[in-house]
Structure 1
């Protein structure tokens, strides 16, 4: 590699929700830049397939992947992922918390306690758990990258997806708090806030002709995002190139959130 600016050789990354979509694209690119990556998703076979695919062509001499399936809403399973990475590679330098749930849409007046608690535990509390499990080691090594994948719905109001947006706004505040506490100790914490990307989670939007027409009119870029357009930013935030970016939320949305129309 001609430049070390984005070099991740010797770094270990745990990426949740990385058996497909944005998480898998980010895992591939981090391995390409030298990272060792734990692939985390709910389905073990999908994690194994994603890890095997990366290992077949990591793109670098040091890049490799292992499967570490888990449900991020269960603390013991998350701990097992971190333990697996530590046992295999002796450290966790990068956490990319990409997995989330969006099980319900509707008015806040119809929001049940059970649904709200599920949203919060999976989309917010799991990130707190990950920080508690990994940040102490990052501080010891004076290097850590904590990347949360939020959403532009955490920046905008919406009557139907507001509960999901509430959890993503909480993630944005969480990285600000982390930056204030850990920036002087070598740990950077930031959010990536995607717009609509061509992923399974958003399939109902990019396969809906009416939604496509609306998005093409509303979004300055006139298109949906491609997963590699998140992966590149993830590599930058994970590397030394991102060392002075801290506590930020970066919207990757084709200009959606800056458009008045």
Structure 2
């Protein structure tokens, strides 16, 4: 008897929010390499077009749809349009997010509201819009990008930590409500990775020295090292995994 490829994404369609660069684009590329047709989301059409062109140049099936994930109506309309014009969304990667750093006593209301809107509300809006279609089909995969800061805290990022902790528990709540309908909703939690968002920290020799000493793997993570975890959560290999947060952090969260 032939053994099915549990990690194949052939014939499946994946929407990746914040997919035009960094972790989102890397995950999209990884899903495409395993057979998925990917749809990149972001707010800048120019950046999305460049990312889509790069994926297509490498032989992958890729499309792009620009919309603001913090606008619930825009998210709902875009998801309905994708479902109607391109076909069912089988996989959602809720990756869009941002960071704001400041001493907690000086953190502004504007930055607080921006973090809540982008890191929490957008996850809810996209998951709800996509799940409404998945529920009728009795299947679907939702991957919410959490963080090592879903469990841990560091100075000057308490509001970010709050949002990522909320995403962890929102993931659990989604699984509690939707698993019985055939959906798998899980979190993927990166540790410290060399990304555009972390560029200032990467270039900070003192911070990098601290991180390498603090992390059992003794280095920054490479974004490509998130692909295997993302493919696992998007594929049939995780068919009975629900409400889980898969941490990819070189061991920083388990070692003092």
TM-score band, normalised by the shorter chain? over 0.9
Residue in 1 that maps onto 2:44: 43
Residue in 2 that maps onto 1:235: 231
Residues 47, 67 of structure 1: 8 Å contact kept: yes
CA shift at 1:117, angstroms? 2.0
Alpha-carbon distance between aligned partners in 1 of 2:225 and 2:78, rounded to the nearest angstrom:
26
Residues 153, 161 of structure 1: 8 Å contact kept: no
Secondary structure, counterpart of 2:29 in structure 1:
helix
CA shift at 1:114, angstroms? 3.0
Residues 38, 85 of structure 1: 8 Å contact kept: no
**Length-normalised TM-score, structure 1:** 0.92
CA shift at 1:56, angstroms? 2.0
Residue in 2 that maps onto 1:190: 186
CA displacement 1:92-127 (0-9 Å, x = unmatched): 1111011102134221x3333333222111110111
Alignment of 1:146-157 (within 5 A): 146-157=142-153
The aligned length equals 254
Secondary structure, counterpart of 2:35 in structure 1:
coil
Gaps of 5+ in 1: none
Alpha-carbon distance between aligned partners in 1 of 2:41 and 2:103, rounded to the nearest angstrom:
29
CA shift at 1:3, angstroms? 4.9
Alignment of 1:72-111 (within 5 A): 72-107=69-104, 109-111=105-107
Which of 169, 172, 176 aligns to 2:168? It is: 172
CA displacement 1:150-190 (0-9 Å, x = unmatched): 11112112331110010000000011111111112111111
Is 1:17 the equivalent of 2:13?
no
Runs ≥4 residues deviating over 4 A: none
CA shift at 1:75, angstroms? 2.2
Alpha-carbon distance between aligned partners in 2 of 1:218 and 1:25, rounded to the nearest angstrom:
26
Gaps of 5+ in 2: none
Residues 21, 199 of structure 1: 8 Å contact kept: yes
Residues 14, 85 of structure 1: 8 Å contact kept: no
Residues 69, 75 of structure 2: 8 Å contact kept: yes
Residue in 1 that maps onto 2:222: 226
Is 1:143 the equivalent of 2:139?
yes
Alpha-carbon distance between aligned partners in 1 of 2:85 and 2:222, rounded to the nearest angstrom:
32
Change (3 A) 1:31 1:88: farther
Alignment of 1:122-133 (within 5 A): 122-133=118-129
Residue in 2 that maps onto 1:71: 68
Residues 153, 162 of structure 1: 8 Å contact kept: no
Return 163-172 or 121-130, whichever deviates more.
121-130
Alpha-carbon distance between aligned partners in 2 of 1:92 and 1:224, rounded to the nearest angstrom:
33
Residue in 1 that maps onto 2:240: 244
Secondary structure, counterpart of 1:215 in structure 2:
helix
